[in-house]
Amino acid sequence: MTKIVPSVSVSYASNGSSTKSNALGMRPMQERAYERRGEQYLLIKSPPASGKSRALMFIALDKLLNQGLKQAIIVVPEKSIGSSFNDEPLSDYGFWADWHVEPKWNLCNAPGSDNGGKVKSLGAFLTSDDQVLVCTHATFRFAVDQFGVTAFDDRLVAVDEFHHVSANPDNKLGTHLGEFIARDKVHIVAMTGSYFRGDAEAVLAPQDESRFDTVTYTYYEQLNGYEYLKQLDIGYYFYSGSYADDILKVLDPAEKTIVHIPNVNSRESTKDKVREVEHIIEELGEWQGADPVTGFQLIKTPDGRLLKIADLVDDDPTKRDRVSAALKDPTQKNNRGHVDVIIALGMAKEGFDWIWCEHALTVGYRNSLTEIVQIIGRATRDAPGKTRARFTNLIAEPDAAEQAVTEAINDTLKAIAASLLMEQVLAPRFEFTPKNPTSGPQEGFDYGEEGYDPDKCNVGVNEETGKYHIEINGLAEPKSEEVNRICQEDLNEVIASFVQDKNAIERGLFDEELVPEELTQVRLGKIIKDRYPNLDEEDQESVRQHAIAALNLTQQAKQLLAGDETIDVGSNEPKPNTALIAGVRKFAMDVRELDIDLIDRINPFSEAYAILAKTMSEDSLKQVAAVISGKRTNLTPEEAKELAVRAFRFKRERGRLPSISSQDAWEQRMAEGAAAFVRFKDEGRYD
């Protein structure tokens, strides 16, 4: 029996603000981005369906017509996304110009390979008088290789789905962008719904990233401002045996659903993708044939309904192209009855727009966190009558007897990491300030019925901006503008690196002897040191404290809500929008003083373990714990060094070194680390 326990359920106010347009035809995110149109390097971080494509049109037109740039080159990851930049009569909605791309310069529609005729076409465009070209990341990479960065001087390069870029030297697009920034002769607009990568690599080198002005529009603002969608549930569910036998326990034929079946190389796959699709169709009802126009499979359900199923897995190009074209038919965009279920493998992810999708059901762990965020984005469109959406990750329960048990456990840990990260992505933005005698209320924040209390740590919310103001004793304040920006804009990216850290999540879930500070201070401290090597120690510590405060406060709020009997996670009734703020407030009130030491003493993975214990069988859980504890090793020289740094900080604050015989587990651990550091140093283990 599949266990159904949503790991997170978030509800929103549905005040309609994110769908309303201003006098120029811009929605709030687009207006916010347009205000920064004069920046040479602009990074737009905004969820799927918030209107990034159109925001770019407004900005590009201004750069071409008012800022003296010669041309705009729009770069997208795959051909299908090129259609997002088709002609738009923007003046019909109040803007001062229309968006137009000459058909021959939309290279996403051109025949041939990315490194053949399309590169030649891009070269011809650079010498033409036309202003806009659209091409794939691949075409652009080959073109820069062929023509060099100087050929693009005085032009706008706009990169869609920017998370495909990486600071890794092997990533050609990342290398090219570094070269453009070093030359400093182009304007760059980068757009992404998830500014973190699945492989935990940095997207840009820190020195390049600091050149960008960032526009952030959060999931919270987007969903809170929708007209219809009020609730989003995210869960991972385990099954044993074949997924095809269990899938109907989570697939509700009454919901508009995109099913992503597993990659043929994954352990969840039966290795026969066509048979898997047939099995799902058979389980749903009786086949009535295929629609001759759309190619959709027609299925009669036991209750007499006719389901239209789009099969994007079939390798027959004639069939698949017909189905794909039917799904993209612009005349059917607002027709809820056009299709009921879409079954896909590698398609229907980034840039795929089906506003009616209520359930994104994914079998097996996908390649990356980024991919999961993109898939969830398929279900978060606003549409009339759609009040609730959900994402389900159906995962094979690890079995210690099987050969691929390590792979199975890795998939499980990745699914948990994705869930933890999505909780942060979906939550409002936290604005942390240290509590001190001069602290006071911030304008625009509601501090609850009692109002602001100068004698304690306060929690306030600004519904309009989707920000929480939280006061914390002992919090290290950012010293520089750059650190302030990181704490305001990049905490989710820092948390993404932390929850993807295999050592951290394994120990956080299964090490019974864990001292939480080993994760919250040492492990997270090292991740921040590696990510921001140019920051001094105090600023690195400030980023660490802000990141762990954001992660642990969300987890504690979730734990309190899970234990609140008045909130039914399985209910179809949307929960009050104030649920998370109530949880944060309750946690802040339940503890005597909200201070950073207290936050550091919380294991960030303990609530994830509680959910895992509900969803996985007891035997499997014990087996997984045994496999992971079998891998445990002694302190590495690197870990000893990190602990020694913490021990030195302890001495600076307390006037004495940590004691190995202390009753405090963390003090004991620091003392062990300092001793090991001295030993390793004597052995010449450090350069």
Q: Tens digits of per-residue pLDDT, 1-37?
A: 444 445 566 666 666 666 677 888 898 889 999 999 9
Structural domain ending residue among the three candidates 218, 243, 273: 218
* Confidence band of 333 (pLDDT split at 50, 70, 90): confident
Tell me if 604 is assigned to some domain: yes
Per-residue confidence (pLDDT) for residue 348, from 0 to 100: 59
Encode pLDDT of 220-263 as tens digits.
788 877 888 888 888 888 887 777 777 888 888 899 999 988 87
Tell me if 589 is assigned to some domain: yes
Q: What's the DSSP call for residue 636?
A: P
Place of tokens 């699709």: 277
Tell me if 436 is assigned to some domain: yes
Per-residue confidence (pLDDT) for residue 203, from 0 to 100: 67
Verify that 392 and 522 share a domain, yes or no: no
Tell me if 388 is assigned to some domain: yes
CA distance linking residue 610 with residue 543, whole number of Å: 28
Q: What's the DSSP call for residue 519?
A: I
Verify that 199 and 330 share a domain, yes or no: no
What does the DSSP assignment read for 429-453?
EEEEEE--TT--PPTT-B--TT---
Tell me if 413 is assigned to some domain: no
Average pLDDT over residues 530-548: 92
557 by Cβ neighbours in 10 Å (0-12 / 13-18 / 19+) ranks as buried
Verify that 80 and 139 share a domain, yes or no: yes
Encode pLDDT of 462-520 as tens digits.
877 778 899 999 999 999 888 998 888 888 888 988 988 888 998 888 887 788 999 99
Is 202:167 a contact under the CB 8 Å cutoff?
yes
Average pLDDT over residues 264-274: 77
Average pLDDT over residues 597-615: 87
What percent of the chain shows pLDDT beyond 70? 87
* Confidence band of 580 (pLDDT split at 50, 70, 90): low
225, 228, 234, 237 alpha-carbon torsion, rounded to 10°: 180
CA distance linking residue 3 with residue 10, whole number of Å: 20
Is 299:282 a contact under the CB 8 Å cutoff?
no
In 3D space, the residue among 505, 529, 476 whose CA is nearest the CA of residue 645 turns out to be 529
Structural domain ending residue among the three candidates 218, 244, 267: 218
Is 434:472 a contact under the CB 8 Å cutoff?
yes
CA distance linking residue 625 with residue 483, whole number of Å: 38
Verify that 642 and 584 share a domain, yes or no: no
Q: 236 by DSSP, 3-state: which?
A: strand
In 3D space, the residue among 157, 230, 164, 193 whose CA is nearest the CA of residue 29 turns out to be 193
Average pLDDT over residues 569-580: 46
CA distance linking residue 43 with residue 187, whole number of Å: 11
Verify that 656 and 667 share a domain, yes or no: yes
Encode pLDDT of 636-675 as tens digits.
888 888 888 888 888 888 888 888 877 888 888 888 888 8
Question: Looking only at Cα atoms, what is the longest distance across the chain?
Answer: 81
CA distance linking residue 587 with residue 94, whole number of Å: 47
Encode pLDDT of 284-311 as tens digits.
999 999 999 999 999 999 988 999 999 9
Tell me if 410 is assigned to some domain: no
Verify that 432 and 568 share a domain, yes or no: yes
Verify that 85 and 212 share a domain, yes or no: yes
Dihedral angle sign, alpha carbons of residues 48, 49, 50, 52? positive
97 vs 676, which has greater pLDDT?
97
272 by Cβ neighbours in 10 Å (0-12 / 13-18 / 19+) ranks as exposed
Average pLDDT over residues 526-535: 88
For residue 433, the tally of other CB atoms under 10 A from its CB is 16
Is 79:108 a contact under the CB 8 Å cutoff?
yes
In 3D space, the residue among 593, 598, 581, 584 whose CA is nearest the CA of residue 455 turns out to be 593
Per-residue confidence (pLDDT) for residue 545, from 0 to 100: 95
Average pLDDT over residues 680-685: 80
Is pLDDT at 122 greater than 80 in this prediction? yes
Per-residue confidence (pLDDT) for residue 195, from 0 to 100: 57
Tell me if 210 is assigned to some domain: yes
User: How many domains would you assign to the chain?
Assistant: 4
Residues β-bridged to residue 360: 258, 391
Pairing outcome for strands 286-290 and 297-300: antiparallel
Is 462:445 a contact under the CB 8 Å cutoff?
yes
CA distance linking residue 573 with residue 567, whole number of Å: 10
In 3D space, the residue among 531, 642, 667, 511 whose CA is nearest the CA of residue 205 turns out to be 531
517 vs 80, which has greater pLDDT?
517
Per-residue confidence (pLDDT) for residue 569, from 0 to 100: 38
Average pLDDT over residues 542-550: 95
Per-residue confidence (pLDDT) for residue 199, from 0 to 100: 53
Structural domain ending residue among the three candidates 375, 396, 417: 396
Token couple for 154: 């005085």
Is pLDDT at 632 greater than 70 in this prediction? no
What percent of the chain shows pLDDT beyond 90? 29
Verify that 73 and 142 share a domain, yes or no: yes
Domain of 351, CATH number, reads 3.40.50.300
Place of tokens 């020195």: 207
Average pLDDT over residues 380-408: 79
Tell me if 139 is assigned to some domain: yes
Verify that 481 and 531 share a domain, yes or no: yes
* Confidence band of 577 (pLDDT split at 50, 70, 90): very low
Mean pLDDT over each residue of the chain, to the nearest integer: 83
Buried b or exposed e, range 585-597, using 16+ CB within 10 angstroms: bebbeeeeebbbe
Domain of residue 589, residue span? 425-633
Verify that 238 and 380 share a domain, yes or no: yes
Verify that 58 and 29 share a domain, yes or no: yes
Verify that 136 and 264 share a domain, yes or no: no
Residue 221, H or E segment: helix 219-224
Average pLDDT over residues 569-595: 62
Average pLDDT over residues 623-630: 74
* Confidence band of 571 (pLDDT split at 50, 70, 90): very low
Q: What's the DSSP call for residue 686?
A: -
Provide the residue count of the chain: 687
